[in-house]
Copies of this chain bind each other. A is one copy, B any other.
Amino acid sequence: MTATEDLLANNAEYANNFEGPLPLPPGKHVAVLACMDARLDVYRILGLHEGEAHVIRNAGGVVTDDAIRSLAISQRLLGTQEIILIHHTDCGMLTFTDDDFKRSIQDETGVKPAWAAEAFPDLAEDVRQSLRRIENDPFVTKHVSLRGFVFDVASGKLDEVTL
C-alpha cells in the first residue's frame, strides 16, 4: 500500500462533496509563487478559496525561467495583476550548495545536471533576488502589485521583505 493509494481514497471523499466547476481565470487576479515545502498549505496561509489565485511552486519558490513562463501565461492569458512571493524559515534550500549537490549527483550518476540547483544562504536576500528578477524580466510586466514574504513555519505568519 503506497501513500498515493491513501491519497486517492481521500480524493474519492473530496469528490463526493465537490461543488461544480468554477471559471478558469483566477477570481482575485492574483498569482502566488511559493516554495514546494510540505508545510506551506498556501490556500490556508492566505485564506484562498478555489478559483481565486494561480499557485506556482518549486524548490525554494525561486524565480526560475519556468516560474517566469508560468507568470507570463498567468498575466497575459488569464489576467492576473498581483504577484505574491513566499519563501519560508527552515527552508531546505539553506542547507546545501549548488556545487555540493551537483557534485553528489555527478558522483552517483556520472552526469552533472545542466541546471542550477538555486540553493541560497540567506532568506531575505533571496526574496529580494526574486523581486529583482521579476522587475528585470521583459515578459512579466502586467502586475500592479509585487510583494515578497518569508513565511515563519513556527508562527504561521508572513513577514514582508522589501527591496
Chain A interface (Cβ < 8 Å from any Cβ of B) = 2-4, 6-15, 17-18, 20-22, 24-31, 36-41, 43-48, 50-59, 64-70, 72-74, 76-78, 82, 84, 90, 92-93, 95-96, 101, 104-105, 109, 111, 113-118, 138-139, 141, 144-145, 147, 153-158
Contacts and interface: CB of A to CB of B under 8 A. Distances in A.
Contacts of A109: 138-139, 141
Given A11-B47, A24-B39, A31-B36, 6 more contacts: A3-B29, A11-B46, A17-B156, A38-B54, A40-B50, A59-B70
Contacts of A53: 3, 7, 38
A145 B11 CA distance: 18
Nearest to A38: B26
Contacts of A92: 24, 73, 77-78
A24 B20 CA distance: 35
Contacts of A7: 28, 30, 46-48, 53, 84
Nearest to A147: B4
B57 A57 contact: yes
29 contacts: A2-B144, A3-B29, A6-B28, A11-B46, A15-B155, A15-B156, A17-B156, A18-B157, A21-B153, A24-B37, A24-B92, A39-B51, A58-B67, A58-B69, A65-B65, A68-B115, A69-B115, A69-B117, A72-B113, A73-B92, A73-B93, A73-B117, A76-B101, A76-B104, A76-B105, A77-B101, A109-B138, A109-B141, A113-B139
Contacts of A3: 28-30, 53, 82, 145
